[in-house]
């Protein structure tokens, strides 16, 4: 089967995410776009994952995820087989992260929501900041939890592994890289011999969620199956 995907979407939990990025709005827009599977990947947190999974029940697959910022200020997409393992990774991240309070008037609100899109809390800790974990520790920790981590938007001029390190360390145990739509044709030949390539939206607004285009060929649609494909 073809499974059309967008594996990099932010909710209103991310301070840079629009307040309309609620669990139901994300799920419904993804369905309108014709997607079969999405991943909720807020910055350094998965607090809205369970709500999105509940909102999507019987409609489409939501993979628990995060966009983790490493100590090198590199963004990594991390996907998990279930919400429990995602939450365990968030606890590991919190132990290494600096305690910086968010300033909503500057950076934006960090809303925690339920499956009905009601605001049930607000994350006070600043989410868009580097953790104390380097890229190797992130990949290793996510892998031990049964997930997969890979560099996000490697073609961008900030917060990417190429912009910050200048190269992808050959000893980094990854099987996938993310390249944005605008750069994929130009960069694909250089990277597809070494890695799987995924192209997702990094949506912060509903209209940015990916159109039906990129897909996986799968025997069965499941988080575990997609994670295994990306390792």
pLDDT at 207 over 90: yes
Residue 108: the pLDDT is 94
Residue 162: the pLDDT is 97
Among 24-28, 153-157, 216-220, the least confident range: 216-220
Residue 189: the pLDDT is 86
* Mean pLDDT (whole number) for 1-27: 97
Q: Are 146 and 80 in contact (CB under 8 A)?
A: yes
* Mean pLDDT (whole number) for 187-204: 94
Of all residues in the chain, the percent with pLDDT exceeding 70 is: 100
pLDDT at 55 over 90: yes
* Mean pLDDT (whole number) for 65-92: 98
Residue 99: the pLDDT is 87
* Mean pLDDT (whole number) for 7-15: 98
Neighbours of 207 (CB within 10 A): 10
Q: Work out the mean pLDDT of the chain and round it to a whole number.
A: 96
d(CA 204, CA 210): 11
CA dihedral 71, 141, 126, 201 (to 10 degrees): 90
Q: Is the C-alpha dihedral spanning 10, 15, 18, 22 positive or negative?
A: positive
CATH number at residue 89: 3.20.20.140
Give the model's confidence band at 112: pLDDT under 50 very low, under 70 low, under 90 confident, else very high: very high
**Domain range spanning residue 169?**
2-230
* Mean pLDDT (whole number) for 51-56: 98
Q: Report if pTM > 0.85.
A: yes
- DSSP structure string for the chain: -EEEEEEEE--TTSTTS-TT--HHHHHHHHHHTT-SEEEEEEET--TTHHHHHHHTTTT-EEEEEEEEE-TTS-EEEEE-SSHHHHHHHHHHHHHHS---B--HHHH---EEE-TTS-EEEE--B--SS--S--HHHHHHHHHHTT-EEEES-TTSSSSSHHHHHSS--TTS--SEEE--HHHHHHHHHHHTTTSEEE----BSSGGGSPPBTBEEE-SS--HHHHHHHH-
pLDDT at 64 over 90: yes
Report the number of distinct structural domains present in the chain.
Answer: 1
Q: pLDDT tens digit string along 140-194?
A: 999 999 999 999 999 999 999 999 999 999 999 999 999 999 999 999 888 988 9
Residue 92: the pLDDT is 97
Give the model's confidence band at 201: pLDDT under 50 very low, under 70 low, under 90 confident, else very high: very high
C-alpha distances out from residue 136 to 143, 150, 181, Å: 11, 11, 26
């Amino acid at each position: 089967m073809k499974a059309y995907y967008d594996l990099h979407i932010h909710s209103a939990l991310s301070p840079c995410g629009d307040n309309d990025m609620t669990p139901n709005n994300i799920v419904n827009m993804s369905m309108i776009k014709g997607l079969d599977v999405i991943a909720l990947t807020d910055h350094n947190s998965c607090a809205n994952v369970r709500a999105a999974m509940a909102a999507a029940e019987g409609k489409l697959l939501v993979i628990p995820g995060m966009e983790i910022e490493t100590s090198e200020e590199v963004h990594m997409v991390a996907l998990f087989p279930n919400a429990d393992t995602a939450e365990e990774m968030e606890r590991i991240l919190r132990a290494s992260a600096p305690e910086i309070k968010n300033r909503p008037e500057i950076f934006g609100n960090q809303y925690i929501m339920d499956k009905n899109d009601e605001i049930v809390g607000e994350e006070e800790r600043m989410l868009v900041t580097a953790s104390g974990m380097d890229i190797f520790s992130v990949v290793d920790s996510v892998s031990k939890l049964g997930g997969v981590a890979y560099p996000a938007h490697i073609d961008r001029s900030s917060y990417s592994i190429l912009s910050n390190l200048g190269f992808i360390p050959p000893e980094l145990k990854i099987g996938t890289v993310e390249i944005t739509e605008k750069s994929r044709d130009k960069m694909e030949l250089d990277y597809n011999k070494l890695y799987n390539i995924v192209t997702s939206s990094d949506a912060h607004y509903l209209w940015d969620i990916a159109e039906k285009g990129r897909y996986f060929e799968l025997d069965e649609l499941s988080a575990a199956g997609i994670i295994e494909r990306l390792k």
